[in-house]
Structure 1
């Protein structure tokens, strides 16, 4: 591998602080957040849900009723009556329901934050894929050039009848294969760019510099988990659901209190009339039956659900962290072994000097290329695993 390839593989190894602190990636994620169609639609849905929740705490509509009774056998004149009234729940219910609605609004916001995090994590993963595809294309383009040089040399030797047709065909096939690999990578790049356009609301992604810094390590698993507990919307959503469920218990207990009504009443017959205030009180015998028990049961469920899901998320997080550590350890072993080697370049020089036959050269070359490709793949996998570990920072 020549110096260009070595620098392409190792250029991302030195670090300062976390993955891709280059502002360009952060700017791109901000742009995607603003343009993403799914997030825009979800934001509208949340706003509609919040307004709908607030409407449940409105007063019932006022009621106006009246009577005009001109018919019948009466000597005192026609009878007229009208009444206007306003019914309402016990005043403490509105305060309790308002707090419940506020907590439900927090739930909705955490659900949006979770959706946003999912979209940005997907976008970040696609950007990682794009960066490494472009890096791979640079490497394969250099290999294609090298394969063409080897083919030209074998063609020249064949014309001089110094090698047979089999060596010529193998050299040509190797060159054709490298051409196909480059074309395939170019096709994959276009697919990735199409995915990015979709995430960006149909707009093209421009100005992406694919330099990605690889940190040698992240914080300990417990430190990262505590950070996630404090900021991850999935976990915050569980706590919000639990708190809202507890407030629902308080609301249902308040709804056991009687509803009330106040109003004005007028009655009149042949110039005589009576008017005054109207008051009413409901007796809460049937409507609230079992509602408190149901709310309490739901609160117990939410508590249990929080514990179960948190434990499951921690197990997944720890598994991802272990995979990351193992992958990083193996990657560093590859780096220590191959970092200062220039195996492909040395092999190519040896071949050009006639120290290797084409088949010996090709077999040795494939060994080092496979190791180099595996190293590049491991580097990408480390970045993707790290993105998973640090998704709470998005």
Structure 2
């Protein structure tokens, strides 16, 4: 393997070499957030729900009623009456419902943040996969060139009748296999680019300058969990649901109070008329029956549900964090061992000097390549697991 590949893969994969790479990743995620049609549609949904929630706190429409009674057995003039009135719930109900609507808006925003996080996490994982495939493509291109060189060398020896047809065929098959692997990687890259385009509102995303470069350290477990408690939308959604259910219970308690109606009434007959104010109260016997108890039970459920889900999420977080720490330790062992070797280069040199037969060379080569590929896969898995652990920062 050439020195520049060893340096690029093993020397600086997990060290921040500059802010431009990180900024490139952030810019791509920001572009996806702005163009993603799912998020745009959900913003419109939030706006419609907020307006609908506000409409539930409006006063009922005023009522105008009248009587004109010209018929009947009477000795007086026609009787007329009209009345205009406005009914409304007890004033404290509107204040309680307004607070509840505000909390429902906060719930909608938390749900949007949660959905946004899922979209951006998916995009970040695809970008990590893409960066890995592009790096792997460079390695496979180097391997294909080396395979071609070995095949050409064996073909030359075969023409000189110094090796048999079997060795030549094996070298050709090995070279063809490298071409197939490279073609498969290019196909996988195109699939990822297409998926990213879809996430970006079906607009092309410039990923040519992308270089994923994430720090290896992610902080202590306790500090990271405290960050999640403050920033993670899934945990914030639980708190928002709990607070909203408490306010709903307060709203139902206020709705037990009587509704009020005020208005103006006019009556007239035989040139005489009477007019004055109208007022009324509803008697809250049936309308709010069991609603306070139902709201209280819902609030208790939200409290219990928040505790259960928070405990489950913390257990999952601990498992992921411990797995990340173990994988990071193993990766460093691989990196220290393999990164300090030039096995492929030395093998190729020994083969060219005639110290190995083609089959011996090929078997040894596959052993080191598999080990190196495993290290690269481990690095990608570390990046993906880190993205999951730090998704609250998106």
TM range (shorter): over 0.9
Q: Kindly indicate whether the alpha-carbon contact (under 8 Å) linking 2:150 and 2:171 is maintained by their aligned counterparts in 1.
A: yes
12-21 vs 25-34, which moves further:
12-21
3-state SS of paired residue (1:81): strand
1:349-368 pair list within 5 angstroms: 349-368=349-368
Q: Kindly indicate whether the alpha-carbon contact (under 8 Å) linking 2:265 and 2:275 is maintained by their aligned counterparts in 1.
A: yes
2:227 is equivalent to residue 227 of structure 1: yes
Q: Kindly indicate whether the alpha-carbon contact (under 8 Å) linking 2:130 and 2:192 is maintained by their aligned counterparts in 1.
A: yes
2:161 is equivalent to residue 161 of structure 1: yes
Q: Whole-Å Cα distance in 2 between the matches of residues 216 and 25 of structure 1?
A: 16
1:308 equivalent in structure 2: 308
Q: Kindly indicate whether the alpha-carbon contact (under 8 Å) linking 2:83 and 2:263 is maintained by their aligned counterparts in 1.
A: yes
3-state SS of paired residue (1:279): strand
1:274 equivalent in structure 2: 274
4+ aligned runs moved over 3 Å, structure 1: 16-21
Q: Per the alignment, do residues 306 and 223 of structure 1 end up closer, same or farther by CA in structure 2, a change over 3 Å counting?
A: same
Residues 24-57 of structure 1 deviation map (CA, whole Å, 9 limit, x = unaligned): 1100100000000110111111111111111111
Residues 178-206 of structure 1 deviation map (CA, whole Å, 9 limit, x = unaligned): 00000000000000000000000000111
Q: Whole-Å Cα distance in 1 between the matches of residues 17 and 186 of structure 2?
A: 31
Unmatched runs of 5 consecutive residues or more in structure 2? none
Residues 255-284 of structure 1 deviation map (CA, whole Å, 9 limit, x = unaligned): 000000000111111221111110010000
3-state SS of paired residue (2:127): helix
Q: TM-score, normalised by structure 2?
A: 0.98
Q: Kindly indicate whether the alpha-carbon contact (under 8 Å) linking 2:25 and 2:212 is maintained by their aligned counterparts in 1.
A: no
Q: TM-score, normalised by structure 1?
A: 0.98
Q: Kindly indicate whether the alpha-carbon contact (under 8 Å) linking 2:24 and 2:210 is maintained by their aligned counterparts in 1.
A: no
1:114-193 pair list within 5 angstroms: 114-193=114-193
1:377 Cα deviation from its structure 2 partner: 0.5
Q: Whole-Å Cα distance in 1 between the matches of residues 384 and 41 of structure 2?
A: 27
308-317 vs 191-200, which moves further:
308-317
Q: Whole-Å Cα distance in 2 between the matches of residues 284 and 152 of structure 1?
A: 96
Q: Whole-Å Cα distance in 2 between the matches of residues 135 and 366 of structure 1?
A: 19
Q: Per the alignment, do residues 17 and 354 of structure 1 end up closer, same or farther by CA in structure 2, a change over 3 Å counting?
A: closer
1:215 Cα deviation from its structure 2 partner: 2.2
Q: Whole-Å Cα distance in 1 between the matches of residues 240 and 216 of structure 2?
A: 36
Q: Whole-Å Cα distance in 1 between the matches of residues 44 and 121 of structure 2?
A: 21
1:208 Cα deviation from its structure 2 partner: 4.2
Q: Whole-Å Cα distance in 1 between the matches of residues 208 and 309 of structure 2?
A: 37
3-state SS of paired residue (2:73): coil
11-20 vs 102-111, which moves further:
11-20
3-state SS of paired residue (1:46): helix
Unmatched runs of 5 consecutive residues or more in structure 1? none
Q: Whole-Å Cα distance in 2 between the matches of residues 214 and 355 of structure 1?
A: 42
Q: Kindly indicate whether the alpha-carbon contact (under 8 Å) linking 1:17 and 1:215 is maintained by their aligned counterparts in 2.
A: no
2:328 equivalent in structure 1: 328
1:148 Cα deviation from its structure 2 partner: 0.1
